[in-house]
Amino acid sequence: MKKLKKLFAVMLSLVMVLAMGITSFADKVTNEYTNTITVSNLAEGVDTTLNVYNIIYLDQNAEGNQTWVVVNWAKPYVEEDAATGKFTITNAEGLRDAADKQSSADVTATESGTSHDFTNLPIGAYVIRAFDTKGTYSLMVANTYDEDGRYMASEAASVTAKMEKYNVKKEADDKFVHRGQTVNFTITTQMAPKTSGEGEKKKTLTSFKVKDTSKGLKANSFVLGKVTINGVEQTVDASKAVVAENTDGTVTYTVDLSDFIASTASGSTIVVKYSAVVENDHTYNNSATASAETVGYKPARVDGFEGSVTLKKVDTNHNVLNGAEFQLLKVTPAKEEGAEATKTPVSVVPVKDASGKAIAGEYKVALEGEEGATTTLVATNGTLKVTGLDEGNYEFKETKAPTGYSVNSENKAFTITANEEKEVTEDAGEFVNTKLSALPATGGIGTTIFTIVGCGIMIAAAGLFFASRRKENR
């Protein structure tokens, strides 16, 4: 009986809630007052993704009364005038970001042309977001109602797409490299709009530059390659490509293309190719962008990495040995079957600390013509470390053993495997030496001793021979 009373109470409560909500229950008007939104001025030659979000819609209750409703996620950015009933967007940037965070749009389309029509859209207010490989467009707002008719009449809308931020694409032909390697880079972007804004805020395009800020690339090694606009190669004066070393250790490479503003349509694809030498022995990175008065650009970054190896020099009891000398050989596989692989000594320079003092047993791959370059590596304190290595097969070859030990004729092989996401550190393990036998030294006093002992043995043998012959003759 108690359970039935509880169930009745719950049902009664539900009925009361439903009864209170009868007048507020409403349906979104979708089958009448529809019209079209046309989006124009989209970029040529690319597919543009268009997302449409209905932020204000016409609602109708059971009695047939109609009212405007703002969707919940848009309410913080839209304000209604109580006197006129008109809506105003109070925070366009916030509304843009809120729209981009939605899991799905009300309508989505992909357009390969420069304009697109969204048809049969219910009366209301909409925001439109557009994206393509060239960039991101500003927030677009369209109303499919007649404001003069107190929002109750359907009306077609037309909006013009304006690029808010162009993309910059940065590519490198190799992202796992060795110190001293020349890397080729490609920057792809678009010519900025010729004007932006209106009235006092109007801006005119007078400067257009492509910039690359890097760390780990040699400042005086930058070389400008091809510059193309819409696939056509352009002649750029060498003075327009400038390198600057910054106080934070970065290098800025700027290519000034302002001379091409007048002859180049807004949105035209611009490709800049150049090269630079890797100077750091661990990584390199660079961030490319463009600068112009009329539009922003979204930077693109490229990171490159290198390899390193460590080797420990020990005796047969795993005790550390000092003073051994090595060559580091880069092994190139034979091109023909049956031929031997090529082993080329790697040129290195000592790694130095902040004060400029060489760190014992640490080396890095040498730049071309770098002072102090050598192919001899000394295992001081029993260890060797080499940085700035490219991927591939290598061998350590001992050229001089520690005093009192014999040279190990078996090379120590290891492999550096490329990784375009992080630096690679390889442990080559232990390189073992055995002690020399306790034999007299060759040369000097050792040679004299061997000569005297040898002559003595020969004289003794001759004496025994002649003595035995005299006995036989008797």
Which CATH number fits the domain that encloses residue 267?
2.60.40.740
**Would residue 385 count as lying in a domain?**
yes
The CATH number of the domain holding residue 355 is 2.60.40.10
Residue finishing a domain among 110, 136, 161: 161
Instruction: Give the DSSP H or E segment for 15.
Output: helix 2-21
**Would residue 82 count as lying in a domain?**
yes
Residues 6+ apart with CB under 8 A from 458: none
**Would residue 447 count as lying in a domain?**
no
**Would residue 461 count as lying in a domain?**
no
The reply to whether 317 and 364 lie within a common domain is yes
Q: What is the pLDDT of residue 81?
A: 86
Instruction: Please write the tens of the pLDDT for every residue from 204-262.
Output: 999 999 999 999 999 999 999 999 999 999 999 999 999 999 999 999 999 999 999 99
**Would residue 457 count as lying in a domain?**
no
**Would residue 274 count as lying in a domain?**
yes
- pLDDT surpasses 80 at 62: no
List the domain range (segments joined by +) for residue 404.
307-433
Look at the chain and report how many structural domains it folds into: 3
The reply to whether 57 and 187 lie within a common domain is no
Residues 6+ apart with CB under 8 A from 399: 325, 326, 327, 376, 407
C-alpha 46/C-alpha 270 separation (Å) is 15
The reply to whether 299 and 311 lie within a common domain is no
Q: What is the pLDDT of residue 378?
A: 96
C-alpha 100/C-alpha 105 separation (Å) is 9
The reply to whether 412 and 426 lie within a common domain is yes
Residue finishing a domain among 289, 305, 321: 305
Helix H, strand E, coil C: the string for 320-364 is ECCCEEEEEEEEECCCCCCCCCEEEECCEEEEECCCCCEEEEEEE
Is 382 in contact with 431 (CB distance < 8 Å)?
no
Average pLDDT value for residue range 32-46: 88
C-alpha 2/C-alpha 8 separation (Å) is 10
- Give the confidence band of 199 by pLDDT, cuts at 50, 70, 90: confident
C-alpha 261/C-alpha 265 separation (Å) is 8
The reply to whether 130 and 182 lie within a common domain is no
Q: Which of 195, 369, 379, 378 has the alpha carbon at shortest distance from 292?
A: 195
Buried b (16+ CB within 10 A) or exposed e, 198-209: eeeeebebeebe
Is 147 in contact with 153 (CB distance < 8 Å)?
no
The reply to whether 41 and 120 lie within a common domain is yes
The reply to whether 345 and 379 lie within a common domain is yes
Count of all residues that appear for the chain in the document: 474
Q: Which of 140, 244, 253, 131 has the alpha carbon at shortest distance from 187?
A: 253
Q: What is the pLDDT of residue 66?
A: 81
Q: What is the pLDDT of residue 147?
A: 61
Residue finishing a domain among 305, 320, 355: 305
The reply to whether 274 and 315 lie within a common domain is no
- Give the confidence band of 3 by pLDDT, cuts at 50, 70, 90: very low
**Would residue 10 count as lying in a domain?**
no
Q: Which of 311, 402, 401, 396 has the alpha carbon at shortest distance from 361?
A: 311
The reply to whether 90 and 183 lie within a common domain is no
The reply to whether 313 and 239 lie within a common domain is no
Instruction: Please write the tens of the pLDDT for every residue from 168-180.
Output: 999 999 999 999 9
The reply to whether 299 and 170 lie within a common domain is yes
- Residue recorded with tokens 């910054």: 246
The reply to whether 220 and 331 lie within a common domain is no
**Would residue 5 count as lying in a domain?**
no
State the pTM of this model: 0.74
